[in-house]
Amino acid sequence: MKLIPLFVFALFPFMTRSQTNLLENPQIHFHLWKTDSFSKWQVKDGILFTTGGNADLVTNQMYGDFSFEFEYKLNEGGNSGVIYKVIEDPQDEALFKTHASGPEYQILDDIGYPGKVEDYQKCGSNYGLNAPSVKNLSKPAGEWNSGKIEVRGDQVRHWLNGELIVEYTYGDEAWKKAVAETKFAEWPYAAPHHEGHIALQDHGDPVWFRKLVVTEL
């Protein structure tokens, strides 16, 4: 019998993963929320950006288990986010925004934001539910930050600038109890689901992305 070296089996899981750079021809990977258009967001020198007020940008593909790595920067006081597990149906009025169905990795200029910011609203949080476990990791406005979201089954993790800052179990009793105490309780958000789109939020402020890589796990 022919023997297969053990290192082949060790490498096999990585060989089967599908990785996509969403900044390579982003027009074929994204569309504006509830439309077929890519217009309004812009690409220049490999950087994807919005000047604000242009609706969220949503992946054409849906993802279940995945890793999403991104780099972004904001202006002073800027606010944005990456929303995942997004359900999109143009006919469903309950799905009024991307965050009506999916958790949000908050992107925020914590230092320069003009309003009061609770811990569960700070950069890297699972917005409204899970505060970052490490504080003051976000770089100042105008500088590039790196973020990462990983979903494996019901386990979700957020990283900010290389540090693991959020871990939670999506859909478990603790999650349901926390959701029940928020505005999300009345939204499709409250019904756990595995697959969904990834959305880049236009919260009305400019935001720039120079890395958008998704790996299906």
Q: Where are the domains of the chain?
A: 20-216
Predicted local distance difference test score (pLDDT) of residue 5: 55
Average pLDDT score over residue span 140-146: 97
Residue 193: predicted pLDDT: 98
* Residue 25 confidence (pLDDT) above 60: yes
- Report helix, strand or coil for 173: helix
Q: Are 198 and 214 in contact (CB under 8 A)?
A: yes
Alpha carbon distances (Å) from 209 to 26, 98, 109, 187? 11, 18, 15, 29
Q: Please tell me the predicted confidence (pLDDT) of residue 17.
A: 75
Q: pLDDT value at position 14?
A: 47
* pLDDT exceeds 60 at position 1: no
Q: 160 or 9: which carries more pLDDT confidence?
A: 160
User: What is the mean predicted confidence (pLDDT) over 6-20?
Assistant: 59
For residues 187 and 115, the model is more confident at: 187
Task: Report the alpha-carbon distance of residue 139 to residue 57 in Å, rounded.
Answer: 24
Per DSSP, the three-state class of 177 is: helix
Q: 21 in helix, strand or coil?
A: strand
Q: How far is CA 29 from CA 19, 22, 159, 161, in A?
A: 13, 6, 24, 25
**211: three-class secondary structure by DSSP:** strand
The CA distance from 117 to 108, in Å, is: 10
Range with the poorest average pLDDT among 11-25, 48-62, 119-133, 134-148: 11-25
Q: Give 95's contacts (C-beta < 8 A, 6+ positions apart).
A: 87, 88, 89, 101, 188
Tokens of 202: 């236009």
Residue 178's alpha-carbon distances to 102, 128, 184, in angstroms, are: 15, 9, 10
Q: Over the chain, what is the mean pLDDT?
A: 94
Place of tokens 């994807």: 48
- Supply the pTM of this predicted model: 0.92
Q: What is the model's pLDDT at position 15?
A: 44
CATH C-level class of 20-216: mainly beta
